[in-house]
Chain A
């Protein structure tokens, strides 16, 4: 004959249900998977560029190469990467008391919010923060303006003087 659960069992069941239900509801509420960046995503990426790169960020276009990068990815990774900025934004709104979109915050508030992600005790938040940080910075410093600011000479200037051999597969190139 079934017995009523004890108080401890009741809480254990409740905790187990929460573990199962909360991520499911979170998943349902999260922005849907997509294969390209939407306007909101691009606003987040642009805001992150300003916070991470600092002065002169306006001279650097990271959105064009980022869109190009997306095109090179497998479908599964495309949707994962394309949804990352919205996911970051959505969760930031939940976590920030004002509930404001990341792109609309002041630069100081954006920097504080990003730091919060990067140093969070929750691995998931650190991972998302780092992924976006690396994505944005890598694209800032593969841009000629970013490279020049770092003093990088870019593609080797002498290469046109040297013979460039073509790969051969038994047919003319």
Chain B
């Protein structure tokens, strides 16, 4: 059953066995597992239910409808844009479908340093297999690369660098190229069309347009959640309260700690909101005069260079380079200059390729409670800026190797790089706030798992240490940055949490 905060009674109250806050990969996985086990489950989603027929492929409209804060959220210092979904299905509705199993080297690190025995590659393998079957994960054939990604492949192969096509959660993909604005054809197997309906088909209820503002606590138990119902214009229209025997928070690595901190939870670890990992990214564009690249056409993200990844290839740079399609609204903010000068460059938009750096950050930020919204304390650490510069230089080399006449970076002070000799321009490019375009699509950490309250905010089963029945299930659980696109890891960790709930709480605590 689906309910909307826009239409339910303005003082909405419900009692259930389990309430799950958030419907992204984490929340929907737990909701499905609990509903499968016969629990009365209610999923609460701050965003709207947007069916495929409403994905208009219009950049401005979809940014407002599908992204938190209309896609305008940034870190407190304005240095980096923070993009994440706020819609049924969460960020899985607006991602580029990339599916990496958690790299084994990373899992061994998590097992060893954080005492997480359930996260060995052997124990996670059957979970990944099960999730990949539901999400219809398949490897993209090279023949399906669009020209943008194929030029990245050619460049990296000419330089002898390791790379590959992505595994993607798509079924009958038409390659329309609007993945980030919601898939109009439901080819993308997002949580919205997989785990969420699987949960509702087992009796779970979905309440959309309902912003949870507080987890209700009593002693060592969570007793429910409460918040505001919003209308279509996202304005307040009433209040709601859900009483529950079990509370699962899956609001993502920004909103989960924001909600828990704002609710005054007891956190013996003192780590809640800390260890905020972001995979900071920056664009690198190649210019191919006279060639129609149209990087936004076809499958936008098809090829990645893994050569410089620490978790895939033990490279100290610690970055993935991924082909991306950049719609004009975003591209316009990357190109430097004013007025006619910048307009002339934009007229060559179709001749530009685009790739993004995904850096595995070494210095985390912190999420706190700001004035009516989360505070996001983050800046690019000098050591990470240095590694970012190296990754940008490698990406520029790949474009030049595949025939680019020039390379454009996201710096306001660097106009173009026309040869490898000009890569030195990056030394003076500037990485401080406002000097370079930085994007974050992956938010992780902030409620990390660990074997004790000294190490983790939550237990190895996702339970907050001071509470019998309060769990976290989303990317907040990551002990460190994953170094690869995180969606499969989120599904898998949520599956681990679901087992923990069913083992620890459901048997004995549910009334």
Residues from chain A with a CB closer than 8 A to the CB of B331 are 141, 150
How many Å lie between the Cα of A75 and that of B484 in the bound state? 34
Known A-B contacts A141-B329, A147-B328, A155-B57; A131 and B343 likewise in contact (beta carbons under 8 Å)? no
Cβ-neighbour of B433 out of A73, A127, A159, A167 (below 8 A): A127
Number of interface residues of A (CB under 8 A): 62
Cβ B346 vs Cβ A150 within 8 A: yes
Please report whether the interface of chain A is mostly helix, strand, loop or mixed according to DSSP.
Answer: helix
A72, B373: Cβ atoms under 8 Å? no
Of the listed stretches B68-76, B399-407, B421-429, chain A binds B68-76
User: With an 8 A cutoff between CB atoms, is B251 at the interface?
Assistant: no
Once the chains are docked, how many angstroms separate the CA of A55 from the CA of B340? 7
Q: Do B70 and A72 have beta carbons less than 8 Å apart?
A: yes
- A150 neighbours in B (Cβ, 8 Å): 328, 331-332, 346-347, 349-350
Give the residues in chain A near B197, CB-CB below 8 Å: 167-170
Taking a contact as CB atoms under 8 Å apart, the answer to whether A173 and B51 are in contact is yes
CA distance A130 to B334 in the complex (A): 11
How many B residues touch the partner, as a band?
35 or more
Residue B270 at the chain A interface, CB threshold 8 Å: no
Chain B residue contacts of A56, Cβ below 8 A? 343
Interchain CB contact (< 8 A) of B185 among A54, A164, A171:
A164
Known: A72-B64, A74-B69, A127-B433. A133 touches B333 (CB 8 A): yes
Residue among B197, B338, B432 with max Cβ neighbours from chain A (10 Å) = B338
CB-defined A-B contacts under 8 Å, sample of 24: A52-B338, A52-B339, A53-B343, A69-B60, A69-B64, A73-B72, A76-B371, A77-B69, A118-B434, A127-B79, A138-B329, A138-B332, A140-B332, A146-B328, A150-B331, A150-B347, A152-B350, A156-B176, A156-B177, A158-B176, A164-B52, A164-B53, A167-B192, A169-B1
Which B residues are within 8 Å of any A CB, using their own CB?
A: 1-2, 49, 51-53, 56-60, 63-65, 69-70, 72-74, 77-79, 88, 174, 176-178, 184-186, 192-193, 196-197, 200-201, 206, 233-235, 294, 296-297, 327-333, 338-343, 346-347, 349-350, 370-373, 412-413, 432-435
User: 9 closest pairs, A vs B, by CB?
Assistant: A126-B434, A76-B372, A54-B339, A127-B78, A142-B60, A155-B57, A141-B332, A142-B329, A141-B328
